[in-house]
Amino acid sequence: MAKQLLEIQPLELKFTFEVKKQSECTIQLGNKSDEYVAFKVKTTSPKKYCVRPNVGIIKPEATYHFTVLMQAQKEAPPDLLCKDKFLIQCTVVPFGTTDKDITSDMFAKDKETGKYVEEMKLRVVLISPPKSPVLLPRNEELKQDSSNETSLQKDRALSGLENVPPGDGLAVDVEVIETGKDMYELRAAKDVQDFETSKDTDELSTAAKDVQTRPAEDVEELQPAKDSMELKLAKDWEELKLKLHAMESQLREAERTITKLTEEKSLTTREKDSLKHELELLRRKNYARKIQAGFPLLYVCMVAIISLVLGYLSRS
């Protein structure tokens, strides 16, 4: 049996379930080997969950975390029982492998090559959210309400006995009920306590309404902060637009300068070629003038020879 590659914590995906609300949990993977390990996460309900990231590379003796997000559900399952499951596959990969190099073929088992692919299944557990206590305002103080208080008041009405802490200002001397007068007083006390109970119930409903309206008040308090953030974003956007406009103006100015320099260079080249052509013409004209200014050497020699011949003939 091959050595276990990954250690998973926790072994269950626990989500705090609330209707029409998202929930998430984090899973830690620990590489127990001295090799690079690639992992991939699969689920039986891919449309219901979002895994970030669903693949990755874990270095030797290192840990890796991924988050599973459960989408908001319209209704709760019976008894919060969920049959969804997750499968984590892992295998050893060569050094230098990145997340982009991970493919589905890496996690395919091959008996011929003896490739080892480790698989671990995790089940989903739904947890109901904790119930927050309802607070009742009384005498400018907050009091926690519970069913024990109502039952305690009923016991007080039936027994006629009440233990009031000192300093409450409501201390009453209680005696054992023996006569019909005491029974009448007991009934009157019970009626008063029933009235107080109904009054407490009305206060409870009013406080519950106040608690329900608190999220709306919180939203109204958050609205100015949201508006200020939007104003700040709009201001930053205007500043970016101004900077972009300035950069575009500078770019256009640079383009005009480059075009002007290019034209000047072309004009200079044309003037240089024209000057070369004029210089060549001047050289040719000077050479022609030199030829016209003197007699050629051959012409001088021919004249000299003809003169000698004529002189010799005249003497003879």
Q: Which domains does the chain have, with CATH numbers?
A: 6-127 (2.60.40.10)
d(CA 210, CA 203): 10
Low-confidence stretches of the chain (pLDDT < 50) are 1, 139-182, 184-186, 188, 192, 195, 204, 208, 211, 213, 215-219
Residue pointed to by tokens 């004209």: 285
pLDDT score recorded for residue 157: 41
pTM assigned to the model:
0.42
| Beta carbons within 10 angstroms of residue 159's beta carbon | 11
| Beta carbons within 10 angstroms of residue 259's beta carbon | 10
pLDDT score recorded for residue 20: 92
pLDDT score recorded for residue 43: 95
DSSP state of 77: P
Pairing assessment for the beta strands 12-16 and 118-127 based on DSSP bridges: parallel
DSSP state of 10: -
pLDDT score recorded for residue 198: 54
d(CA 93, CA 79): 43
pLDDT score recorded for residue 191: 54
Indicate the SS3 state at residue 98. coil
d(CA 80, CA 5): 33
User: How do residues 19-75 score in pLDDT, each as one tens digit?
Assistant: 999 999 999 999 999 999 999 999 999 999 999 999 999 999 999 999 999 999 999
pLDDT score recorded for residue 165: 39
